[in-house]
Structure 1
């Protein structure tokens, strides 16, 4: 058996080589719901699956997702974009500046434009002038922060803006975007009629699984902003454009092998410019979301590192929109637990993660056992050995978390606030072995050069 053949065999999925489809994902989601419900009952931690936590998680996940989506477009074209944070900051300021004067939807449009200008600047530096992508991204972050602080003091602290509540570090308030609530299921009003709240009633009964499902569904159907719905629709839209259209194929070919794409007539510079500018527009939309939905005004430091977490969510999602959405929801959920649940709710998650790690350890051990008879070279043996080591480490981590859970009643506040960032580090560490970024990502391209 050749090394290439063996490597393919080693990396074959444990389910026989079949890709996971919707029934598999539904089964996994059902299992996680049962586990969350069990943890909620054991630790009496109602916020774990409450509608308030789910609603907050969705609201906190959307800007992370939009920033990550911007990174996805850029990096699929071969341009690393760590300037997402700076483009988000530009989106917050421009969105707030236009929003308080002409309304929230105009603010969203101008916020998209502000982020797109940041993306265009990144494209000029990296594509046309060949500046190192990391250096250019850092410069965009510094520029976005400094420029918006200067402009906020210049325009929000004088005249009409100051009279309306503006200041050197914040804008006047902005009208909120309309929210929707599903009648009958989640309450709300239709004209003068107060609709019943079936899901809310079921959630309050605290039944096993049923109340948890009702709480999650109510959080997704109560008080949802129209802009949130637009953001959710961008998941299938991005997939269709990048993976089902000639335009998307050209962009992805530039990220995999721009010289091969050039030989087939693709305008590589044009595609990279388009992708990076769209990347900035998505980041600007994330910033506009922060000032029109998350909080109805601009404030200095409002992004709070969400651009970098969006970049981490994109990597966790393996440079695909579905995985990016899942990673963003994970980070948004841990942040919501910090905001609404506090130490008690995070304490319940210790048991949840411990049980998951036991499952991961068992899966890795079973996978290594199935692959072991196929191994005939050192590379394969090393792969199997790594699987066994990962299984052992997962068990050790699970034992440590279980011990912590049993010996404590709540997680200290300092660790609670660090939970989203710790989740980012853990997820990236666990997902690193299955990641594959575009082959030409971050490489300098010059038309007509030999590779």
Structure 2
């Protein structure tokens, strides 16, 4: 009598079609636009999707997105970069100073990026060469740059009219670009109030008018990062360094060099975000103007699951809540309570289908509280609305934590094997 032996074949994960990630990103963006359009019709707050809000959202999202992209470059190579805030501070000071002293914003941009890269290089020397703890090095850079820029301000601006220890003189601005005829053609459509049609028109007008040149450059950093890190041999090697540096070294990948490149580029992107704050957002360097955007950029990177498109969406989310509270105060942000409550109810139902009753009950309870808050009030207190971007950061990270997949070698000290 023979006994048959069955060998189980390995289960293969379904292959996703090419372009699936882009399709998913576009679908999610479309769902968000439809939700906001419906919320606008229900609540009557046209500010939720008008072109001014879209334009302001981009202004607030760009420095956060650049910091998030900087964190992505560094952490994809395995180095945690808490020092993004300090590198942004370098970008604000040097960008404003060189733009003012040369009367050329593009030279200010170059100086701010190079200053940020110098900060990234310092972080790379500490963490890659001397194996300093990544968090300790990053925090030290943040503290050091804040004090160093105040010292430079006292040294340079003490005799300059309108400047001083905490601010620079006015810097020249970047040119502002508009697509011709777009506002004239789509403006009446945006003002019509028709569901989704008016919102799409406002979106197009918002992203094609009154656009500073640096904003366009910053937006292009998102697809450029994707192409370099996911569509080139260089990017594959850099990401392999963040996943498994030992395996990468065994295949001849220059681990140390790629870590240095990644962290230096990370600092340059953060420096560009600082230049944006100093020249585009305010046309002046002011002490403390980064306002924790380096840390919010890290939150956007985590929310985006260490992917460029996700970083852009996270930055857009934080920029949108910031734009609403600046333009509309508590009343505009108050409308989001309804959308958030309904979304959490949908998430709770989805968790029930996945047999996660604990999370479903928690989500439903929070949703009921938010809906009760919405229907019992007319607006949020101004103090609470001001902190809505930070509250959004905490809420989004708590909801997205289950689907995160950081690089396997992130934050680990590594030394080359000795043959």
Partner of residue 335, structure 1: 322
1:307 is aligned to 294
Shift of 1:209: 1.9
Give 1:278 shift: 0.7
1:184 partnered with 2:181: yes
- CA gap of 1:17–1:422, structure 2 versus 1, over 3 A, is farther
Partner of 1:40: 40
Aligned to 1:168, the other structure's residue is in SS state coil
Give the alignment's TM-score, normalised by structure 1. Answer: 0.87
1-structure distance, mates of 2:198, 2:245: 52
Q: Which whole-Å CA distance do the structure 2 matches of 1:288 and 1:212 have between them?
A: 31
How far has the Cα of 1:24 moved from its partner?
Answer: 4.6
Q: CA deviation at 1:31?
A: 3.2
Partner of 2:106: 105
CA distance in 2, matches of 1:125, 1:22: 37
Measured after TM superposition, the shift of residue 23 of structure 1 is: 4.5
Cross-structure match for 2:414 = 445
User: Structure 1 30/70 Cα, relative in aligned 2: closer, same or farther at 3 Å?
Assistant: closer
Q: What is the CA RMSD across the aligned residues, in angstroms?
A: 1.9
Q: Is residue 30 of structure 2 the alignment partner of residue 30 of structure 1?
A: yes
Residue 128 of structure 1 corresponds to: 129
Q: Does 1:172 align with 2:169?
A: yes
Partner of 2:167, secondary structure, is coil
Q: Deviations over 1:128-174 (max 9, x none)?
A: 1110000000000001101001111111222xxx13x3222111111
Match in the other structure for 2:63: 63
Q: Deviations over 1:321-358 (max 9, x none)?
A: 11011000000001101110111111111111112112
Q: Partners in 1 of 2:15 and 2:378 — Cα distance?
A: 43
Which structure 2 residues correspond to residues 28-427 of structure 1 after superposition, within 5 A?
A: 28-102=28-102, 103-158=104-159, 162-163=160-161, 165-186=162-183, 197-366=184-353, 368=354, 384=355, 387-427=356-396
- Could you tell which deviates more after superposition, 228-237 or 306-315? 228-237
273-282 vs 26-35, which moves further: 26-35
CA displacement at 1:30 relative to structure 2: 3.2
Distance 2:23 2:259 in 1: 36
Structure 1 unaligned segments of length 5 or more: list them. 187-196, 369-383
CA deviations 1:10-66 (Å, max 9, x no partner) are: xx8xxx885755455444433332321222222221211111111000011000010
Q: Which moved more, 1:17-26 or 1:113-122?
A: 17-26
Distance (whole Å) between structure 1 residues aligned to residue 411 and residue 170 of structure 2: 40
Q: Could you tell me the TM-score, scaled by structure 2's length?
A: 0.93
2:132 is paired with a residue whose SS is coil
Q: Does 1:429 align with 2:394?
A: no
For 1:316 and 1:307, the matched residues in 2 are separated by 14
Q: 1:444 to 1:150 in 2, by over 3 A?
A: same
In structure 1, the residue corresponding to 2:387 is in which secondary structure?
A: helix
Instruction: Compute the displacement of 1:363 (Å).
Output: 2.6
TM-aligned CA deviation for residue 282 of structure 1: 0.6
Structure 2 CA distance for partners of 1:433 and 1:51, relative to 1, 3 Å: same
Q: Please report how far the alpha carbon of residue 185 of structure 1 lies from its aligned counterpart in structure 2 after TM superposition.
A: 1.3
Change (3 A) 1:244 1:127: same
SS in 2 for 1:214: helix
Unaligned segments of structure 2, at least 5 residues: 1-8
Determine if contact 2:95/2:110 at 8 Å carries over to the other structure. Answer: yes
CA–CA separation in structure 2 for the residues paired with 1:308 and 1:296: 23
2:185 and 2:271 mapped to 1: Cα distance? 37
Deviations 1:281-336 (A, max 9, x none): 11111101111211111011110000000011001111111101100000000110
Distance in 2 (CA, whole Å) between partners of 1:141 and 1:357 is 36
Tell me the SS of whatever aligns to 1:315: helix
Q: How many residues of Structure 1 are paired with residues of Structure 2 in the alignment?
A: 408
Contact conserved, 2:25 with 2:309, CA < 8 A, in 1? no
C-alpha separation between the residues in 1 aligned to 2:217 and 2:252?
34
User: How far, CA to CA, are the matches of 2:27 and 2:117 in structure 1?
Assistant: 39
